[in-house]
Structure 1
Amino acid sequence: MSSTVLTTKPVVRPGAPSPGPALAAAMLGFALITLDTSVVNVALPAIGADLRAGMSGLQWVVDSYTLAFAALLLSSGALADRVGASRAYGAGVVVFTLASAACGLAPGLPGLLAARAVQGAAAAVMLPASLALVREAYGDPGRRARAVSLWAAGGTVAVALGPVAGGALTTAWSWRGIFFINLPLGLLALALLTRVARSARRPAPLDVPGQLTAMTALGALTFAAIEGGTEAWWALGVAVAAFVAFLLIEARRRHPMVPLGLFRNTTVAVAVTAGAANSVAFYGMVFVFSLFFQQVLGLSALGAGLMFLPMTGLLAGVNILSARVAARYGARLPIVLGQAVGVAGLLGLLTVDADSSRVAQALLLVPLALGAGFSLPPLIAAMMEAVPAERAGTAAGLLNAIRQTAGALAIAVFGSLAAQGFDTALPTALLISAGLLTLTALASLRLPRRGTR
């Protein structure tokens, strides 16, 4: 993601249209992107039964979207700058909507996976472009800050509604409905975009070699984790070679996609690792428990979605509380405390089995969401505060890409464990997640009490 995405100055024109449609279009697009990272999980057993897909196939249904999204996030901001945010956003919405239709119409697993990858690529273009639209539409810094908060709230609401919406559509209609629901929403976003001023084009360098090697490394590493066997060792070798090539390319380019010098900053290094650990815990557990609720407990897709409602429904409120605590005490306190609560929640989930009450199972998921929701906003803010303004967009893209990649790898690893049986997979996944969060919570103690650049 280019740094210019987050530092674009608004273009003020006489008689410019109201900023409301730009904000509405951006919120809707961000909600669509976020929805498709959470709505699919509860539909996985139905997809597997209909398309005769095993566990590895179900892992790819999630990860084909997430990997394309994560890998392209690193350079999609620069692309949005080159063609203009409004054009990039419009193209992204069109492709995302068409890919959603292809997902819903997919006759088999290969077609679904290909369409999901296209969805993820389109989402990567939409995300930075949607934020750029908001920043261009609001010239006043105070109004712009409130607009960005509303934009972020759209994603939070989508995370909360995703499991329930996915379960309801799968139970009442079909798993294909979770993709068809994107069609009217995409058309609405395009209709709103027609009332948005056209964005200016700006020069921005594209790091094509870095992008290609990053995609190769992430794809090969995920393949190794999901598929296993002899092929996994070959894939792992490809991943290592591609990653080394990526580091060499980024170290030598004048305008690298990922400036490696950012990692010399302690706050950046801690924020990236803590963000990754939170994604492993949150997205990994949503994936594993979606399968557990249906395959072990025998719940319907809707029943499984409702089990997540207490967990996800609190995210927006916790985000707001976290921001207030960080403003008063600094970012370190909510970051460390949130991760500690997440660890406690993961350890509490070790008590869950097929005989546990449904209410207890749903409530035991809540501390994990409380921890993630409490730690992530100040963690992101601390990282943005630690880098120069001209690097803010790059840092944001890097953090989001690594978080998405960590979530994809968690699904790959935990799904492979689940294929061997939930008796060992569930506690192993919980202990891995708790161990990672414990390490990053301890590392977070090195953060300054107040943000410093």
Structure 2
Amino acid sequence: MAGTGSLTDVSDEITAESAPTHPTATLVTVCIGMFMLMLDMTIVAAALANIQTSLDASLSGLQWVVDAYTLPVAALLLTAATLGDRLGRRRLYIAGMATFTVASLGCALADGIVALNIVRAVQGVGAALLFGVSLPLVAAAFPDPTKRAKAIGVYGAVMASATAAGPLVGGALVTAIGWEWIFLINVPIGIIAVALAYRYVTESRADRAAPADWAGTGLLTLTLLPGVLALIEGNAWGWSSARVIGLGAVSITSLLAFVAWELRAAHPMLDLRLIIRPAFAANALAAFAAAGTLVAATNFLALYFINTLGHDPFQAGLRALPLTLSALVVAPPIAVLHDRLPVRWSLPTSMAVVAAGLWLCTGADAATTWTHFIAGSILGGAGLGAVTVIASQSALTFVEVDRAGMATGAVNTARQIGIVVGVAGLGAVFSSAVATEAGAGLAALTVGTMTVAVPDEQAAVLTEALGSGAGQRVIEFVPDQFAAAVPALSELAGGATAQGLNAVMATGSAIAAVATVAVFVLPRITGRRAGLTRR
């Protein structure tokens, strides 16, 4: 797959008639697209509570609002890069942006959670096309290695900034004019991006583009979709149920088939010989772990701020500023200093900062206010900004030149898979912890000195609502005969939801800590075995 967006020698593939004429405009156009894509992965966090109320959605429905978007990106990104090499990267960028823009309009018009999630999946297909050609377009526009490195640094900083800014932008839009506008805002921006691409972006293709690996794409999709569905519905269906076990079996079987196919395919979408290189594996793992822990956890933190602490979406976005500003401040200097920082130290250090930030966010209880999360958000945001930039840029330094395009695509795919799996897995952790705490609390519910007997049916309704992240809104489900117990139920709701959030943050921190150790060890294995660690 030599032509899949090879970033370090792409200038050799550009014909005389297609030489870049507007490199800065190309960078701006690509960054507009990437800002929209990364923003849409986190902007929905601020709208989840309103979507839940407006469309009467369960927690699993809300998880699919995120995962229906990121799953197609993860499955199709590498194939999209190959298609860009063959059909033209500018052409695919325009097609992807048009698809993304039209789907954004469809999301705003959706009248139910199922319809919203279906159109989110279409939006994800457009995003995959954009992701697949974005870095190769930048590389083609900047054939000079020094200028290209600076452009890619800007690209990485934009990705980090958009990821961090999502909750604040989303909160402002949801509070001012409604959740639909987190999608409608994409429409004029998308139209502008398409116009800029037509006017300024130069077409580029690979001279030796490989055919698309559709079999690999299908097997990867068949690995992710049933696995994510099992994680999201596991608590509701039962982890030992036939459906969950069957979905897990399909996912594992498909993964094995994917590995077998990629090892024998003439033109694999992902050369597994690249992935097993320890230094590169560390890079992909860091991208996966940071996205699957901190980025995924921000969705549950946003629900907590709104439904449990009672802040409106804009106020919740303001309270996400410690994470947002920390990532925004850290990302640009890391991008500039990247070549001076030894990746074998900077990457595990950044992951350790993410783990520490998540751990500082644990310890919430029924009396917790938003200020409890400030220190952890600052630390976690700094780690996220650093990991995002380092992972994007160091993918080009850990592999030989002719695999650069596949390397960056693999890292982006790992990031998307991290979000998909993280939202699904942490959602299961959240629901389970909340249900356990709520069940114990309802069994011992007292008003004054009197024990209140909550009927099993009513207790199940309250527990399900709390497990869906309803927080203090659970009071809406309390019948009139339990009016005297409302204060006690309110305290129980706050405590149970806090325990769910603690479980999310502690699990995320543990995963990030394990990833830190792995990211520290893997490049050193490379250094001893093959001498590929360059710094």
The TM-score normalised by the length of structure 2 is 0.80
Whether the 8 Å contact between 1:12 and 1:139 is mirrored in structure 2 is no
Instruction: Give the aligned partner of residue 45 of structure 1.
Output: 49
Relative distance call for 1:16 and 1:222 in structure 2 (3 A) is closer
Gapped regions of structure 2 (runs ≥ 5): 435-496
Matched, 1:303 2:315: yes
In the TM superposition, 1:132-281 aligns within 5 A as 132-202=136-206, 203-228=209-234, 229=237, 230=241, 231-281=243-293
Name the CA distance, whole Å, in 1 between partners of 2:33 and 2:278: 33
User: How far apart are the structure 1 equivalents of 2:425 and 2:4?
Assistant: 35
Which of 477, 489, 507 is the equivalent residue of 1:432? 507
- Cα distance in 2 for partners of 1:394, 1:354 equals 48
Which moved further from structure 2: 296-305 or 228-237? 228-237
1:247-282 C-alpha deviation (Å, 9 max, x unpaired): 111111111111111233111222222322211221
> Which structure has the larger Rg?
2
Q: Which residue of 1 aligns with 2:6?
A: 6
Q: Aligned ranges for residues 33-432 of structure 1 at < 5 Å? A: 33-202=37-206, 203-228=209-234, 229=237, 230=241, 231-323=243-335, 326-420=338-432, 421=434, 422-432=497-507
CA-based RMSD of the aligned residues comes to: 2.2
CA contact (8 A) 1:40 1:166 kept: yes
In the alignment, the residues of structure 2 paired with residue 214 and residue 66 of structure 1 have an alpha-carbon distance, to the nearest angstrom, of 13
Query: For 1:339-361, what per-residue CA distance to the aligned partner results, in whole angstroms no more than 9, with x for missing partners?
Result: 22222222211123342343342
Matches of 1:444 and 1:201, distance apart in 2: 34
SS in 1 for 2:170: helix
Aligned residue among 3, 8, 23 for 1:19: 23
Helix, strand or coil: the match of 2:396? helix
Secondary structure at 2:211 match in 1:
coil
How far did 1:441 drift?
A: 1.6
CA deviation digits over 1:192-224, x for unaligned, max 9?
Answer: 112125414443221111110100110010000
Inter-partner Cα distance in structure 2 for 1:242 and 1:259: 17
8 Å CA contact 1:330–1:451 kept in 2: the answer is: no
Shift of 1:121: 0.8
What letter corresponds to residue 371 of structure 1 in structure 2?
A: G
**1:179 shift after superposition:** 0.4
SS of 1:6's partner is: coil
CA distance in 2, matches of 1:307, 1:360: 11
Does the aligned pair in 1 maintain the 2:18–2:204 contact within 8 Å?
no
Shift of 1:379: 4.0
> In the aligned structure 2, how far is the partner of 1:278 from the partner of 1:181?
27
Quote the Cα distance in structure 1 between the aligned partners of 2:168 and 2:424. 23
Whole-Å Cα distance in 1 between the matches of residues 353 and 410 of structure 2? 26
CA shift digits 1:131-163 (9 cap, x unpaired): 222222233332332222223333233223211
Deviation per residue, 1:396-450 (Å, 9 max, x gap): 1112112211211111122233334224322222222222222222223322489
Letter in 1 for 2:210: A
**Counterpart of 1:53 in 2: which secondary structure?**
coil
The ranges of structure 1 where at least 4 consecutive aligned residues each deviate by more than 4 angstroms after the TM superposition are 10-16, 323-326
Q: 1:2 to 1:397 in 2, by over 3 A?
A: farther
Give the aligned partner of residue 452 of structure 1: 534
Distance 2:2 2:117 in 1: 28
C-alpha contact 2:172 2:314 (8 A) present in aligned 1 = yes
1:268-303 deviation line (CA, Å, top 9, x unaligned): 222222322211221122111011111211111111
Question: Following the alignment from structure 2 to structure 1, what is the Cα–Cα distance between the partners of residues 371 and 3?
Answer: 45
User: Structure 1 residue 29: deviation in Å?
Assistant: 0.7
Question: Distance between the aligned counterparts of 2:16 and 2:368, measured in 1?
Answer: 59
Q: 2: distance between equivalents of 1:326 and 1:190?
A: 32
- For each residue in 1:67-116, what CA deviation from the matched residue of structure 2 results, as whole angstroms up to 9, or x when unmatched? 01111112110011111011000111111100000000012122111110
CA–CA separation in structure 2 for the residues paired with 1:325 and 1:143: 15
> Which amino acid letter does the alignment assign opposite residue 230 of structure 2?
A
User: Is contact 2:288–2:415 with CA below 8 Å preserved after alignment?
Assistant: yes
Judge conservation of contact 1:166–1:178 (CA < 8 Å) in 2: yes
Kindly indicate whether the alpha-carbon contact (under 8 Å) linking 1:87 and 1:198 is maintained by their aligned counterparts in 2.
no
> SS in structure 2 opposite 1:195?
helix
Question: Identity, % of aligned pairs?
Answer: 32
In the alignment, is the contact (CA less than 8 A) between 1:22 and 1:195 conserved in 2? Answer: no
Q: What letter corresponds to residue 211 of structure 2 in structure 1?
A: P
TM-fit CA distance, 1:21: 2.5
Change (3 A) 1:433 1:2: farther
**Alpha-carbon distance in structure 1 between the residues aligned to 2:20 and 2:259:** 44
The offset of 1:176, in angstroms, is 0.5
Which whole-Å CA distance do the structure 2 matches of 1:102 and 1:14 have between them?
35
Distance 2:354 2:201 in 1: 43
Cα distance 1:110–1:224, how it changes in 2: closer, same or farther (>3 A)? same
Distance 1:107 1:213, change over 3 A: same
Name structure 1 gaps, 5 residues minimum: none
